[in-house]
Amino acid sequence: QDYIQEAIRWDKDASGIVTLTFDMAGQSANTMNTVFRSAYAAAVDRIAAELDSITGVILSSAKKTFFAGGDLNSLLAVGPDEKAALYERSQAMKAVLRRLETLGRPVVAAINGTALGGGFELCLACHARFALDDARLALGLPESGLGLLPGGGGVVRLVRMLGLEAAMPLLIDGSTFDPARAQALKLVDGVAADADGLMALARQWIAANPAPVQPWDGKGWRLPGATATAPASLTYLRTAPVLLMKKTRGRYPAPMAIMSAAVEGAVVDFDTATRIESRHFVGLATGAVAKNLITTFFFQMNEVKSGKGRPAGVPASTFGRVGILGAGLMGSGIAQVCAARGIAAVLKDATAEQARKGLERVAANLDKRVAKGTLAAAKRDAQLARITPTGDAADLAGCELIVEAVFENRPLKAQVTREAEPLLAPGGIFASNTSTLPISGLAEASERPENFVGLHFFSPVDRMPLVEVIKGRKTSAETLARALDFVQQIGKTPIVVNDARGFFTSRVFGMFTKEGAAMLAEGVPAEVIENAALAVGMPVGPLAVMDETSMALAMSMRRQTAADLAAEGQPLPQHPAWAVIERMVDGLKRPGRAGGGGFYDYPADGPKRLWPGLAAEYGKPGVDVPMEDLQDRLLYAQAVESIRAMQEGVVETARDANIGSILGIGFPRWTGGTMQFVNMVGARAFAQRAMELAQKYGERFEPPRLLLDKAERNERFV
Ligand code: NAD
């Protein structure tokens, strides 16, 4: 066998076609690292040297994925002082791609696996692309989602292939596509049913195009669609940055850089455009946001998917039949996500009638998707057929998992646990979806508390990606492992949380909403508070959230907590927010949206607006809290609480805190999550700022012991 540096197999057939098969030794996937870059350069050298006997080149892969993309490990390590080196490295790789596409021989990508990012850029640098018609394959340039841009010529080539207006959304959204969709978008030229058909397509194209040039290298070529300076583009280009700014709140540099690289690159020649692209790429890759996004959404997310944090030695389990107690908002949602993944769901409520209402709720939900065209009617029918509504507990017999989602009421939960547990299949597990009640206490109703676990879903269940898996005091490692397997099976992302008041996400999010109320008590105008939250990238303001979740409910949970803590002989933690909440509920009778109004009014005939009475009630003329403090407080309150939760062992890894905070409560993605935010600021600087905020605004910002330890040792949270 003929290998180029153990990375690329070289095969030349009798007709002079060279097939370069990417097959990097010692790696499960092909990546754009030093080894590959030099191997590819060597392969192109050899093609140039043997050009007289070569009629064409086909790119293929021996791995399951065609090409996994850039080497994110090395990108993560690039510091701000290495900009020049990174620029040179990018330019060198692009020069190799450019050389191959301008040698005068047809180069065709036979994409026989997923090709993303740098991997797809290799394909874009070919004269034609064909792909296996397999819906499991993903093609595209997802760099934007990791805070980067396609820096291997992807921006320049896609804009030249599709035109500015068509290419820009693909680049900015970073969406990926299966081959059929990619063909519709003209990202590939054709698809084939199998590997042989794919190679045949590539060979046919080569035979028909013996000396192709890229369209943009041809004479008289013009950018498809409107040019950057055409009147049609000007309208678009004037509004697009504004809309983008509104969407990203200036916190995500990648979409902006992509737009700049695309537009600037569209008005200059190819080589200049690639240099512009490299410059923007280097700026992004050496910035903090890309590092945060890569850390959390690539590395930590992959760790979760590959089962890190799952107890070792427990055989993997799959679930075929799941019981759900309570067919309300949550129970019906859980049934829906089970059915969508092929799991039979027994949906049990107090009566068959109520259970049927739960099924109708699922049906209505799926109907909307069918109407939108995102779900086939046949699939809807198949999913609904997997859900069995019932009022009879006996129907739960043989379930491998039963999830309880009845009213938040201890005696009721104990009763349904005692009733349903004996019906579990041998070795089955029982889960509670409680949002506030400690799991260890609920497990007391169980005959087998080692098989009892918390599965805390978020509303709406079908759209929220996170599930907190709560370990009770007696939950066994095997039960935890099986619960994690279930969450993965239904396509959600699990984090592991120890049993404690508010678990992880509610506890951290509570500090965000309460901080908003505390600001109001200081006299900060409500609209300033809400805007500060949006400006740092939170999806909604704290006052709006409190209205939605009901301050009356918050008060009653507070009373429950007070009683529980008193019974344990523990003090009730204080927070300046409570005075505001109490006054809103009891004094002003404005408990929130469901109660007719709260911080906002909800007129029947228009959008909500802040209640004008707030200024008279809380406004303090002349109060001046710096915007920077307001923004920092909203993030620091949550980050400090995360550290405290970690110190108490509620979460055990920065990974779980990061993923939980972003997917569960909307902590801004650009930070990489609560703990990555601390890492980004640096433990020392973070502790210092927290101390400052504690002095000015209250002891809730006091740096926890764990933070001070990290600061002293100059360590990161992992
Ligand atoms: P819900 O009121 O919509 O549904 C509760 C259902 O339980 C009702 O359909 C009721 O008829 C049923 N039920 C009552 N007694 C029953 C019995 N004996 N047997 C079977 N079913 C019975 O409530 P929900 O919002 O779906 O919440 C359910 C659970 O999920 C609660 O523990 C809640 O704390 C938790 N939770 C809720 C949310 C949320 O956002 N709503 C989020 C996470 C967790």
Give me 66's structure tokens.
């065609």
Q: What is the position in ligand 1's atom list of the atom closest to the CA of 408?
A: 32
**Do 68 and 195 reside in the same domain of the chain?**
yes
Q: How confident is the model at residue 496 (pLDDT cuts 50, 70, 90)?
A: very high
**Contacts for 606 with CB less than 8 Å, ≥ 6 apart:** none
Instruction: Indicate the average pLDDT of the chain.
Output: 96
One-letter amino acid at 608 equals: K
**Does the beta carbon of 329 sit less than 6 angstroms from any atom of ligand 1?**
yes
Q: How confident is the model at residue 1 (pLDDT cuts 50, 70, 90)?
A: confident
> Is 90 exceeded by the pLDDT of residue 234?
no
Q: Domain of 475: which CATH number? A: 3.40.50.720
Residue 297 domain-assigned? no
Residue 539 domain-assigned? yes
**Do 696 and 550 reside in the same domain of the chain?**
yes
Q: For 563-594, write each residue's pLDDT tens digit.
A: 989 999 999 999 999 999 999 999 999 999 99
**Contacts for 306 with CB less than 8 Å, ≥ 6 apart:** none
> Is 90 exceeded by the pLDDT of residue 233?
no
pTM higher than 0.90 for the full model? yes
Q: How confident is the model at residue 527 (pLDDT cuts 50, 70, 90)?
A: very high
Residue 602 domain-assigned? yes
Q: What is the position in ligand 1's atom list of the atom closest to the CA of 406?
A: 7
In angstroms, the CA 178 to CA 225 distance is 25
Residue 383 domain-assigned? yes
**Does the beta carbon of 70 sit less than 6 angstroms from any atom of ligand 1?**
no
**Does the beta carbon of 348 sit less than 6 angstroms from any atom of ligand 1?**
yes
**Do 472 and 546 reside in the same domain of the chain?**
no
- Which residue, of 499, 518, 533, is where some domain finishes? 499
Range of the domain at 431: 321-499
Long-range contacts from 708-715, C-beta under 8 angstroms, 24+ separation: 710/683, 711/683, 711/684, 711/686, 711/687, 714/683, 714/684, 715/683
* The pLDDT value given to residue 237: 85
Interval between CA 221 and ligand 1 midpoint (Å): 63
Query: Which residue's CA lies nearest to atom 40 of ligand 1?
Result: 459
**Does the beta carbon of 459 sit less than 6 angstroms from any atom of ligand 1?**
yes
Give me 504's structure tokens.
């992880």
Interval between CA 406 and ligand 1 midpoint (Å): 4
Query: Which residue's CA lies nearest to atom 31 of ligand 1?
Result: 408
**Do 187 and 272 reside in the same domain of the chain?**
yes
One-letter amino acid at 111 equals: I
Look at residues 139, 141, 162 and name the one whose alpha carbon lies nearest to residue 153: 141
* The pLDDT value given to residue 370: 97
* The pLDDT value given to residue 231: 87
Average pLDDT over residues 277-289: 97
**Do 41 and 132 reside in the same domain of the chain?**
yes
Interval between CA 644 and ligand 1 midpoint (Å): 30
Residue 96 domain-assigned? yes
**Does the beta carbon of 408 sit less than 6 angstroms from any atom of ligand 1?**
yes
Residue 530 domain-assigned? yes
- Which residue, of 499, 527, 558, is where some domain finishes? 499
CB 187 within 8 A of CB 129: yes
**Does the beta carbon of 405 sit less than 6 angstroms from any atom of ligand 1?**
yes
Interval between CA 381 and ligand 1 midpoint (Å): 25
**Do 449 and 372 reside in the same domain of the chain?**
yes
Q: How far is CA 58 from CA 12, 79, 137, in A?
A: 10, 36, 19
CA contacts within 13 A on the Cβ side of 394: 1
> Is 90 exceeded by the pLDDT of residue 700?
yes
Average pLDDT over residues 85-104: 97
In angstroms, the CA 244 to CA 172 distance is 10
- H or E element at residue 601: strand 600-601
**Contacts for 479 with CB less than 8 Å, ≥ 6 apart:** 429, 450, 451, 452, 453
* The pLDDT value given to residue 684: 98
- H or E element at residue 166: helix 164-173
CB 637 within 8 A of CB 532: no
In angstroms, the CA 141 to CA 147 distance is 12
CB 123 within 8 A of CB 186: no
Q: For 10-66, write each residue's pLDDT tens digit.
A: 999 999 999 999 999 999 999 999 999 999 999 999 999 999 999 999 999 999 999
CB 139 within 8 A of CB 179: yes
Place of tokens 């080894």: 35
**Does the beta carbon of 32 sit less than 6 angstroms from any atom of ligand 1?**
no
Q: How many residues does the chain have?
A: 718
* The pLDDT value given to residue 461: 98
**Does the beta carbon of 433 sit less than 6 angstroms from any atom of ligand 1?**
yes
Interval between CA 461 and ligand 1 midpoint (Å): 13
Interval between CA 319 and ligand 1 midpoint (Å): 23
Look at residues 543, 631, 634, 624 and name the one whose alpha carbon lies nearest to residue 580: 543
One-letter amino acid at 675 equals: M
Look at residues 193, 104, 188, 74 and name the one whose alpha carbon lies nearest to residue 139: 188
Long-range contacts from 614-619, C-beta under 8 angstroms, 24+ separation: 614/520, 614/526, 615/525, 615/526, 617/583, 617/588, 618/520, 618/521, 618/523, 618/526, 618/580, 619/523, 619/525
**Do 256 and 344 reside in the same domain of the chain?**
no
Q: How confident is the model at residue 354 (pLDDT cuts 50, 70, 90)?
A: very high
Q: For 133-175, write each residue's pLDDT tens digit.
A: 999 999 999 999 999 999 999 999 999 999 999 999 999 999 9
* The pLDDT value given to residue 134: 96
> Is 80 exceeded by the pLDDT of residue 316?
yes
- Percent of the chain surpassing pLDDT 90: 95
**Does the beta carbon of 437 sit less than 6 angstroms from any atom of ligand 1?**
no
Q: How confident is the model at residue 348 (pLDDT cuts 50, 70, 90)?
A: very high
Interval between CA 351 and ligand 1 midpoint (Å): 14
* The pLDDT value given to residue 232: 83
**Do 246 and 341 reside in the same domain of the chain?**
no
**Do 328 and 278 reside in the same domain of the chain?**
no
Interval between CA 431 and ligand 1 midpoint (Å): 13
Interval between CA 567 and ligand 1 midpoint (Å): 26
- Percent of the chain surpassing pLDDT 70: 100
Query: Which residue's CA lies nearest to atom 16 of ligand 1?
Result: 350
Q: Which of 325, 407, 433, 556 to mutate to test the pocket of ligand 1 (most atoms within 8 A of CB)?
A: 407
Interval between CA 407 and ligand 1 midpoint (Å): 4
Q: How far is CA 597 from CA 452, 548, 557, in A?
A: 39, 10, 20
Cα 314 to the chain's mean position, in Å? 28
Q: How confident is the model at residue 495 (pLDDT cuts 50, 70, 90)?
A: very high
> Is 90 exceeded by the pLDDT of residue 228?
no
**Does the beta carbon of 457 sit less than 6 angstroms from any atom of ligand 1?**
yes
Query: Which residue's CA lies nearest to atom 1 of ligand 1?
Result: 328
**Does the beta carbon of 359 sit less than 6 angstroms from any atom of ligand 1?**
no
**Does the beta carbon of 323 sit less than 6 angstroms from any atom of ligand 1?**
no
Domain count for the chain, please give it. Answer: 3
Q: 241 versus 363: which is more confidently predicted?
A: 363
**Does the beta carbon of 325 sit less than 6 angstroms from any atom of ligand 1?**
yes
Q: Domain of 25: which CATH number? A: 3.90.226.10
Q: Which of 337, 348, 349 to mutate to test the pocket of ligand 1 (most atoms within 8 A of CB)?
A: 349
Neighbours of 449 (CB within 10 A): 20
CB 94 within 8 A of CB 123: no
* The pLDDT value given to residue 621: 87
Average pLDDT over residues 545-553: 97
Query: Which residue's CA lies nearest to atom 9 of ligand 1?
Result: 328
**Do 646 and 670 reside in the same domain of the chain?**
yes
**Contacts for 255 with CB less than 8 Å, ≥ 6 apart:** 144, 172, 244, 247, 248
Q: How confident is the model at residue 545 (pLDDT cuts 50, 70, 90)?
A: very high
**Do 369 and 279 reside in the same domain of the chain?**
no
Tell me whether residue 280 is one of the annotated catalytic residues: no
> Is 80 exceeded by the pLDDT of residue 103?
yes
* The pLDDT value given to residue 105: 98
**Does the beta carbon of 327 sit less than 6 angstroms from any atom of ligand 1?**
yes
Beta-sheet strands, E only, within 62-151: 69-70, 107-111, 115-116, 128-132, 139-140
Query: Which residue's CA lies nearest to atom 28 of ligand 1?
Result: 405
**Do 216 and 365 reside in the same domain of the chain?**
no
